[in-house]
Amino acid sequence: MSTTTVTPAPKTSGDEIPWNKHQRQHLTPGDWVASIIIYGLITLAVIAVLYPLWFVVIASFSNPNKVAAGDVFLLPKGVTFVGYAKVFANARIWRGYLNTIIYSVVGTAVNLAVTIPCAFALSRKEFKPRRVILFLFTVTMFIAGGLIPNYLLYKQLGLLNSMWVFILPGAVSVYNVIVARSFFETSIPEELFEAAQLDGESYLGYFFRIVIPLSSAILAVIGLYYFVGHWNDFMTGLIFITDDEKQPLQVVLQQLLLVAQGTATNVDAAAQQQAADQIKFGIIIVSTLPLMVIYPFLQKYFNKGVMLGAVKG
Amino acid sequence: MATQSLSATPAAPAQDSRRPSSVASGTTKKPNIFKRIAQHFRRYWELWLLSAPALIFVAIFAYVPMWGIQLAFRKFDPDKGLTGGDWVGFYYFKQFFHSPLFGEIMTNTIRISLWTLVMSFIFPIILALLINQIHSTKVKGFVQTVTYMPHFISVVVIVSMLNIFLTPGSGIIGRFLGPESVMGNPKAITSVYWISEVWQHCGWNSIIYLAALAGVDTSLYEAAKIDGAGRWQLIRTVDIPAIMPTAGILLILSMGSVLNVGFDKIFLMQNSLNLPATEVISTYTYKIGILNSQFSYSTAIGLFNTVVNFVFLITANAISKKISETSIF
Amino acid sequence: MAIAAIATASMLIPLAACGGSGKATTDANGKPIVTIQVRRNVTDNPMKKTQFSKDLEAACDCTINWQEISDNAWGQQKSAKMAAGDFPDIGLALYDSTDVTKYSSQFEDMSKDLSKLPNVQKFFKAQPDAKKFAEDNGHLYLLPSDRGKGYRVSATHMFINKTWLDKLGLPVPTTWGELKTTLEAFKTKDPNGNGKADEVPMNIRGLGFGLWSPLTLMNSTGLTTSFMGASASSQGYYVKNGKVASYLTSNELKDTISYLHSLMAEGLIPKDALTRDASKYNSQTISDGKTAISGVTFGWSNYSEFGDKLADQYITLPPLKQKASDPDSKVKWDYSQPAAEYAYVLSLSPKTANKDAALKLINAMYSEKLSVSGFYGSIPDIVTDNGNHKYTIDKAKAYAEYPDTRAVALQDRFAGWIPDDATIVNDTNAEQVTASDQAVRETIKKNVDPVKDVIPIWVHPSSEDMDTLSNNNTAIFNYTDNQLAKWVQKGGIDSEWSDYLKKVKEPTLGLDTNIKIWQKYYDKQA
């Protein structure tokens, strides 16, 4: 991509990047060096991340013995699809998928509905109790009752072995409240609030009509944080769900993996042992692919120069 | 301010209420307490309404289970229920402090967590600044997508990938590192831990900074350019200040986890050769609590952990507030 | 807000403190409901649908509510469930004697109900060892299962590749020295004939006092191991001439570690054996099903170690002598027979609403036919009753999906008793492990006294002492695990041994305390 900086480009796609417009008149030798270093580092980072992932992909359909022996490098060797066949032949996988999608979608909706309004309220500096509330929130990030009190509480509330155990206890992530609050404080100009006040808007009106439309970036980020959390949530199913029909994808995959590997008291067949590694790599791909597909859709929100320019400029 | 003084010191609420706030430039008289509460709610009921669901969830799911913490001071008795055991005070805390493993566990925990904390703080910022320098939106999107991907891989897989890559002789990294696996080297295992943490989460953690950078006022760049700022200057004078508030908050929050080394990963990385460097509070608590069912002892260790973390958090918050006006509460 | 939070909290606490109730105890037809919770692979066939379950329901005239929980989930849920007082009417393979010691009020003492359990009485009469195993100071909180004579085996065997030996014209080694010479030949002479030096002369899973550990070699030095389950031996304690001691401070362990180091130093054991994950081990034992790679390993049966394709190349190595000059009587072998045959399996909750139905159900489980159905598969769907105590497993049905695990039944999580006079045809797992066990039987019979040489698994310390034992062990192993591993990897045991001894014996680590505790209970209960 550095080629576009080298050739004096006409005004092209890069016009959202502010300094791009001026590159022709201001490209100093320092900028050249900067470009080389920046793109060099980025290339390095991309390779460092991509190669291990590529390895997982090729390992997922290579002969597991060749993988363990270190013979597999750039291309798969001894291609077999045993792992994938085992993963997909299992009806429980599909039910797990469905469960996970339901838990993630409903869960994220609840998360956002609870987190964003609260973060907004806490971002209002004139709302004095916010310091106490934030303190009480933050405390919970560090002090937790522990497994057994939680178990008793969920039992009492009837959450055990129900889909709500995936959704309600984690409805508020204090971390995300803080992140969203700091977004509202720093990125929504106070002038907007004053203008809204003059227009006779209440807090609710201001929040729904002005703040929310300006917050697509933070909604996307927080939403993705929550969604990924739900998607990868493994322990909740393991600890609080006994009914196999309700287990999310991660738990199902994990069980499949363990069965494939066999246990000390439960000696499994040779063929199964051999497939275990392949299943392991296949499972990463099966379980993470959907997340990787979602991200590009949300990404455009991150790159929008949210609203500051419009107000101050 | 009204509720705050209500819950803390109802006796002396007077002076605070006089400070005029940006919105309320109303009465400065000294009304009685009920009136002031009523006034507060009349003015702010919408904000209370917006925050109510979150408050309720936090109260139920975070505060209610905290009653279980008293287990740290009681001898757990299954017949009498969770909180019915005899009160033993700081017995279990002393047991931990006098444990022959105490020194080793604390050193390991702090070493691993500090390395991870610092590196996981620095690298996402660098990455975000770099990504922000890319002109083409397509390349930018590609780099972002690639670097965030490892975040979704489960810990079990990450550790087995480490094992495969670091295998002496055959692993792509291990073949350059001599005949013995670095996974068994107590001196190297901390680096293996934080490097793999950075590898996995760097891209993901940079998202928040990229969101902050996306919100930077484009006119700031224009102005800096007119002043003749080069690329480095733009980064220094525009980008870095733009992400400072976010970075500050994230740093404070991470200070609160100084004694937290995520359990799963280090537990899976443990082997008999690296054990002197990898036994940390969470793995020890697991062995004591879940495997040996000593709930009181493990709760006490957990509570000690919490208190230390909390002290760090409060300190970091106070310092940050003094020097940079950034604070979480 | 703080007030609101506290108010909500105080409202919920009393609710949370008292347990839930109000579950139905009878079904729509008025039949009592008995809940059975079993730990098994939930990918297995659901128990609810089996003929076995219907037979049980007929016997107790009740409805069974099966709850199946995976090993993995149970590991996470167990402590919370116990602390919350969540105990099923009947539990299968859920609890061990440690749990009973800690939560004794939650376990029905079935010694009081034996009159209603004639099948269990018959079982105990036929297998007095099983009774001893199950009894805890005269109480009977957990009923044992007995997998039968097919599993009266040592759980650890040492395998050697006979095909390689024959090819190289070598005899089966009988001493440590000979073994080393053999391993060297394996390394250098390309016994698998593929032209590559890919042979792993000796392959190990790790180092520790547990199943399939190379430390089983300690049996050559005159100490007996019992590396299965929660035995004292698995925690590093042994008994000799009635005196309890720790392997960790023994010269016998020192010799074994030195020997293992000499093997690793010469590349006869893979250098990464102590750090790699299990998949690599499997890829070297099972290999590709054509070319064997491993020479010597420690495991359950040759089939489970090497897979059906390569198993026939391997034989069990009879217990080795440390030195050729050692008397025959010094050689021992891992004595884990009781743990391999019996398991603590069935618990009954004293709060059970339908106790009589539950007892009837338990009694039915211990009948011969339902024991066979529970362990191997329902009669007549999977197993045929040929009459005269003979049963034939339909291999095509039972092993179709999971060749060795009989996922169609409760398998090793069953509660029941396979009597010695029952003949089971096609029990491949038992046949294979019994075949693998032949080579060590004579040594065990002649040289191992199950009580004088082993702390029997029915020796149960109290809950209090159990905590002390495990806390001390955590501290001890934290130090010793690393030392032992380091010595195997890098050597240096001779120069460091005395410093090590000093440190291990430091009172703060509590080794002596633990030895005294075990001695106390050994004297009382063995």
The CATH H-level (homologous superfamily) assignment of domain C20-150+339-421 is Periplasmic binding protein-like II (3.40.190.10)
User: In this predicted model, which residue has the larger pLDDT, B211 or C486?
Assistant: C486
User: In this predicted model, which residue has the larger pLDDT, B248 or C442?
Assistant: C442
Q: Across residues C24-46, what is the average pLDDT?
A: 82
SS3 C387: strand
Distance from the B272 Cα atom to the nearest Cα atom in chain C, whole angstroms: 5
Asked if C225 contacts C219 with a C-beta cutoff of 8 angstroms, the reply is yes
- Fold held by C155-334+427-526: D-Maltodextrin-Binding Protein; domain 2 (3.40.190)
pLDDT at C290 (0 to 100): 83
For chain B, domain boundaries: 2-73, 92-324
Residue C400's H or E segment, with its range, is: none
Indicate the residue type of C186. F
Interchain contact A137–B (C-beta under 8 A): yes
Considering only CB atoms, which chain C residues are within 8 Å of B272? 206-208, 274, 481-482, 484-485
pLDDT above 80: residue C19: no
SS3 A153: helix
Distance CA C205, CA C187 (A): 19
pLDDT above 50: residue C7: no
Q: By mean pLDDT, which of A259-263, C121-125, C308-312 is the weakest?
A: A259-263
Interchain contact C72–B (C-beta under 8 A): no
Mutation for testing the C interface, residue in A154, A273, A281 having most C CBs under 10 Å: A273
For chain C, domain boundaries: 20-150+339-421, 155-334+427-526
Q: By mean pLDDT, which of A24-28, C174-178, C514-518 is the weakest?
A: A24-28
Interchain contact C57–A (C-beta under 8 A): no
Could you tell me the pLDDT band of residue C516, with boundaries at 50, 70 and 90? very high
Residues A5-48 have pLDDT tens digits of 333 333 333 344 444 444 444 567 777 888 888 899 999 999 99
Asked if A207 contacts A147 with a C-beta cutoff of 8 angstroms, the reply is no
- Cα of first residue to Cα of last residue in chain A, in angstroms, is 30
Angular region, C176: left φ>0, alpha ψ -120 to 50, beta rest: alpha
Asked if C383 contacts C372 with a C-beta cutoff of 8 angstroms, the reply is yes
Distance from the A213 Cα atom to the nearest Cα atom in chain C, whole angstroms: 30
Interchain contact A187–B (C-beta under 8 A): yes
Asked if A49 contacts A248 with a C-beta cutoff of 8 angstroms, the reply is no
pLDDT above 90: residue C494: yes
ipTM: 0.78
pLDDT above 50: residue C14: no
Exposed, middle or buried, C287 (CB in 10 Å: 0-12/13-18/19+)? buried
Residues C180-193 have pLDDT tens digits of 999 999 999 999 99
pLDDT above 60: residue A311: no
Query: Identical fold at C20-150+339-421 and C155-334+427-526?
Result: yes
Helix, strand, coil share (%) of chain C residues, nearest 5: 50, 15, 35
Long-range contacts of A270-275 (CB under 8 A, 24+ apart): A270/C286, A270/C289, A270/C303, A270/C306, A270/C307, A270/C308, A270/C309, A271/C307, A272/C402, A273/C282, A273/C286, A273/C307, A274/A64, A274/A65, A274/A82, A274/C282, A274/C283, A274/C286, A274/C289, A274/C307, A275/A64, A275/A82, A275/A83, A275/A86
For tokens 């994990």, name the residue.
A254
Residues C261-293 have pLDDT tens digits of 999 999 999 988 888 766 678 778 887 778 899
Exposed, middle or buried, A111 (CB in 10 Å: 0-12/13-18/19+)? buried
What's the order of all strands across the beta sheet hosting C90-92? C63-69, C33-39, C90-92, C342-348, C142-146
Distance CA C480, CA C275 (A): 16
Distance from the B36 Cα atom to the nearest Cα atom in chain A, whole angstroms: 13
User: Percentage of chain A surpassing pLDDT 70?
Assistant: 79
Q: Across residues C80-84, what is the average pLDDT?
A: 86
C80, C283, C304: residue with CB nearest A69? C283
Asked if C79 lies within 8 A of A136 by C-beta distance, the reply is no
pLDDT at A27 (0 to 100): 64
Residues A68-108 have pLDDT tens digits of 677 788 888 888 887 788 777 777 788 888 999 999 999 99
Q: Across residues A174-187, what is the average pLDDT?
A: 85
pLDDT at B232 (0 to 100): 81
Considering only CB atoms, which chain B residues are within 8 Å of A125? 21-22
User: In this predicted model, which residue has the larger pLDDT, C408 or A210?
Assistant: A210
Residue A27's Cβ-side half-sphere holds a number of Cα atoms within 13 Å equal to 13
Mutation for testing the C interface, residue in A154, A155, A160, A246 having most C CBs under 10 Å: A155
Q: Across residues C44-62, what is the average pLDDT?
A: 90
Considering only CB atoms, which chain A residues are within 8 Å of B150? 49, 52-53
pLDDT at C223 (0 to 100): 94
Query: DSSP letter at C462?
Result: -
pLDDT above 80: residue C165: yes
Q: Which chains touch B (3 or more CB pairs under 8 A)?
A: A, C
One CATH from 3.40.640.10, 3.20.20.70, 3.40.50.1820, 1.10.3720.10 for B92-324: 1.10.3720.10
> C111-141 burial string, b = 16+ CB within 10 Å, else e?
eebeebbebbeebbeebebbbbbbbbeebbb
Cβ neighbours for C331, distance < 8 A, ≥ 6 positions apart: C219, C220, C222, C319, C320, C321, C443, C447
Q: Which chains touch A (3 or more CB pairs under 8 A)?
A: B, C
For chain A, domain boundaries: 2-60, 85-312
pLDDT at B155 (0 to 100): 74
Strand C314-316 to C157-161 pairing: antiparallel
Residues B276-301 have pLDDT tens digits of 899 999 888 888 877 777 888 888 99
Q: What is the mean pLDDT of chain A?
A: 77
pLDDT at C412 (0 to 100): 83
Distance from the B81 Cα atom to the nearest Cα atom in chain C, whole angstroms: 7
Distance from the A247 Cα atom to the nearest Cα atom in chain C, whole angstroms: 11
Asked if A18 lies within 8 A of B55 by C-beta distance, the reply is no
Interchain contact A306–B (C-beta under 8 A): yes
Could you tell me the pLDDT band of residue C23, with boundaries at 50, 70 and 90? low
Asked if A147 lies within 8 A of C80 by C-beta distance, the reply is yes
| Mean pLDDT in order along chain B per 10 residues (329 residues) | 33 39 48 86 92 95 90 84 84 90 91 92 93 85 85 76 79 80 88 94 86 79 81 85 84 79 82 87 83 83 87 84 74
Considering only CB atoms, which chain A residues are within 8 Å of C211? 264
Exposed, middle or buried, B268 (CB in 10 Å: 0-12/13-18/19+)? middle
pLDDT above 50: residue A312: no
User: In this predicted model, which residue has the larger pLDDT, C263 or C405?
Assistant: C263
- Fold held by A85-312: MetI-like fold (1.10.3720)
pTM above threshold 0.80: no
Residues C499-513 have pLDDT tens digits of 999 999 999 899 999
Closest residue of chain C to A157, computed from CA coordinates: C16
